[in-house]
């Protein structure tokens, strides 16, 4: 704590600071609540995504035997080629987070007559799996960004609640007591001076 100045200016400064802290605190508390809610939603999205991945994998397992057929084992990697990932941005409680849109794939032509009839479905499932895993990474990034912002906001709330506001109140009280004592001492000195003046006059 800085050295206290026992003046009316210092008292006004502390009162203004206290008013400002009290004005900002509810906003920070609201932001903290919003972030906590968004983190819970983010955790739910991660769980839903993991359940979806499990489902896609289970569906894909039924095709695994097909990949063992001659010529099919090395075919999929050449037919499913990622061209890029499209994401957007969203502002959540003041935090700019990425949002999954889609995975783009290169168009790969193949001979329908020279490949197995199940290949189209297998390609679609592999693409689904890639999309689900990519979305998981982006949701996880959202979760990390929100968690980091929650830590910072919680630190600020604690700073205001447990340090700044009590500190301001304590300083205001000390200045008020000091100024009250000075006023009392001033009145006492005035009375003594008046009494002496009256005695001299008498």
165: left (phi over 0), alpha (psi -120 to 50) or beta: alpha
- Reported as a pLDDT band with limits 50, 70 and 90, residue 186 is low
Buried b / exposed e over 104-115, threshold 16 CB at 10 Å, is ebeeeeeeeeee
Question: What pLDDT score was predicted for residue 16?
Answer: 95
Count CB neighbours of 71 within 10 A.
Answer: 9
Q: Tell me: the pLDDT tens digits for 49-58? A: 999 999 988 8
pTM above 0.85, yes or no: no
Cβ atoms of 114 and 79 closer than 8 Å: no
Any idea what the Cα angle at residue 43 is, between residues 38 and 45, rounded to 5°?
Answer: 90
> What span, in angstroms and rounded, lies between the C-alpha atoms of 153 and 191?
55
- Give me the half-sphere count of Cα atoms (radius 13 Å) on the Cβ side of residue 153: 22
Domains of the chain: 8-181 (1.10.287.3240)
The pLDDT tens digits for 110-163 are: 666 666 667 777 788 888 999 999 999 999 999 999 999 999 999 999 999 999
Which residues does residue 86 pair with via DSSP β-bridges, in sequence order? 102
- Two structure tokens written together for 74: 């090395």
Strands 82-92 and 95-105: antiparallel
- Average pLDDT, stretch 69-76? 57
pLDDT of residue 18: 94
Helix axes 119-158, 8-61, angle to 10 degrees: 160
């Amino acid at each position: 704590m800085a050295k206290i100045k026992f003046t009316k200016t210092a008292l006004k400064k502390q009162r203004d600071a206290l008013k400002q802290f009290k004005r900002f605190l509810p906003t920070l508390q609201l932001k903290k609540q919003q972030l906590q809610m968004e983190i819970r939603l983010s955790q739910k999205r991660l769980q839903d995504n993991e359940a979806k991945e499990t489902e896609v994998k289970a569906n894909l397992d039924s095709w695994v035997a097909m990949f063992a057929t001659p010529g099919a084992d090395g075919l999929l990697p050449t037919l499913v080629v990622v061209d890029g990932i499209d994401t957007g941005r969203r502002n959540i409680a003041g935090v700019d987070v990425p949002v999954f849109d889609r995975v783009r794939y290169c168009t790969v032509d193949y001979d329908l007559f020279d490949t197995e009839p199940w290949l189209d479905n297998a390609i679609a499932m592999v693409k689904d799996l890639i999309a689900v895993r990519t979305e998981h990474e982006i949701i996880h990034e959202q979760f990390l960004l929100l968690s980091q912002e929650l830590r910072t906001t919680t630190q600020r709330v604690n700073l205001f609640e447990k340090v700044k506001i009590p500190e301001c109140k304590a300083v205001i009280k000390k200045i008020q007591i000091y100024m009250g004592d000075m006023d009392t001492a001033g009145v006492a000195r005035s009375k003594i001076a008046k009494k002496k003046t009256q005695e001299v006059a008498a």
